[in-house]
């Protein structure tokens, strides 16, 4: 689904169109067996959150401005949880940025463009 004006912790740092894909929630179990006993014991380890991917392009007037935008996004890779708001009304709370990758830069019109991907983990 496309969006415009995606915000992270109420900061509109993504002004370009992007795609947000939300994965399904995951639950983890541990199974244990014991010698001499039939069957297994299944221990519920609880929810493990879900993966959310954001893909798009970052646009800037210069390489320096693009670098500044990349640094601003990278600052959110602090291990803390954040709130991701999408202009279509979806709200993802308790998300942590697990990875942020930026593809090769290219000139586009009077500026610079770079593709990016962010992988979030929604913890709750």
Q: What CATH number did the domain enclosing 117 receive?
A: 2.40.30.200
Sign of CA dihedral 82, 87, 92, 93: positive
**Do residues 18 and 55 make contact, with C-beta atoms less than 8 angstroms apart?**
yes
What H or E segment, with its residue span, contains residue 69? helix 63-74
Is the backbone of residue 79 left (phi > 0), alpha (psi -120 to 50) or beta? left
Q: Determine the pLDDT at residue 3.
A: 40
Q: Token match 């942020």: residue?
A: 100
- Alpha-carbon span 99 to 117, nearest angstrom: 8
What residue numbers bound the domain in which 112 lies? 2-122
Domain count, the chain: 1
Predicted pLDDT at 6: 87
Low-confidence ranges of the chain (pLDDT < 50): 1-3
- pLDDT one-digit tens code per residue, 9-44: 999 888 887 889 888 777 677 888 888 878 887 777
Do residues 84 and 92 make contact, with C-beta atoms less than 8 angstroms apart? yes
pLDDT of residue 58: 93
């Amino acid at each position: 689904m496309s969006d415009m004006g995606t915000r992270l912790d109420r900061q509109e740092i993504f002004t370009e169109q992007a795609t947000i894909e939300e994965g399904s929630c995951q639950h983890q179990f541990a199974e244990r067996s014991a010698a001499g006993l039939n069957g297994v014991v299944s221990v519920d380890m609880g929810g493990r959150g879900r993966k959310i991917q954001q893909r798009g392009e970052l646009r800037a007037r210069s390489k320096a401005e693009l670098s500044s935008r990349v640094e601003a996004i990278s600052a959110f890779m602090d291990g803390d949880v954040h709130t991701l708001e999408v202009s279509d009304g979806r709200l993802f709370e308790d998300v942590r940025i697990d990875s942020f990758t930026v593809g090769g830069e290219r000139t586009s019109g009077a500026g610079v463009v770079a593709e990016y991907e962010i992988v979030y983990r929604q913890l709750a």
